[in-house]
């Protein structure tokens, strides 16, 4: 199941592992992405913490963790090809994976229908 934040991050949850990225809307707002800094394996993040940085030709933005947990993998492909986020923000352009420390936090996030309605108002 995929959940969304008002800051345009998404988290796909499979068991106790979450894969985090930014939405297609977010990458469209950023423009051409030229650099991505993902968190290192083992980093502890809390919900709402700055977890990654994405830089585009327009601006640099923080990517916040939608849930708390321990990072188990950063997307190494983004170091050589940050444009993956523009090409496939909802898939291959993911930022990091983490083990969820509090799955109850997911109830605070939006499902896809609520997120689409949220974006439609922007």
Residue 56, domain CATH: 2.40.50.100
Q: Are 5 and 66 in contact (CB under 8 A)?
A: yes
Determine the 3-state secondary structure of 58 from DSSP: coil
Q: How many domains does the chain have?
A: 1
Q: Are 82 and 56 in contact (CB under 8 A)?
A: no
Give me the phi and psi of 111, to 5 degrees please: -85, 180
Check residue 16 and give its pLDDT.
Answer: 96
Check residue 3 and give its pLDDT.
Answer: 98
Q: Give residue-wise pLDDT tens across range 25-52.
A: 999 999 999 999 999 999 999 999 999 9
Check residue 32 and give its pLDDT.
Answer: 97
Q: Which residues span the domain enclosing 28?
A: 2-120
Q: Give residue-wise pLDDT tens across range 45-103.
A: 999 999 999 999 999 999 999 999 999 999 999 999 999 999 999 999 999 999 999 99
Mean residue pLDDT of the chain comes to: 97
Provide the pLDDT confidence category of residue 110 given band limits of 50, 70 and 90: very high
Check residue 96 and give its pLDDT.
Answer: 98
């Amino acid at each position: 199941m995929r959940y969304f934040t008002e800051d345009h991050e998404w988290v796909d949850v499979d068991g106790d592992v979450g894969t985090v990225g930014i939405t297609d809307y977010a990458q469209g707002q950023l423009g051409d992405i030229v650099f991505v800094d993902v968190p290192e394996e083992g980093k502890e993040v809390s919900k709402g913490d700055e977890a990654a940085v994405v830089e585009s030709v327009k601006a640099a933005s923080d990517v916040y963790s939608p849930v708390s947990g321990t990072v188990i993998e950063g997307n190494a492909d983004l170091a050589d090809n940050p444009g993956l986020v523009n090409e496939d923000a909802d898939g291959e352009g993911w930022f990091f994976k983490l083990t969820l420390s509090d799955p109850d936090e997911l109830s605070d996030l939006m499902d896809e229908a609520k997120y689409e309605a949220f974006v439609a108002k922007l």
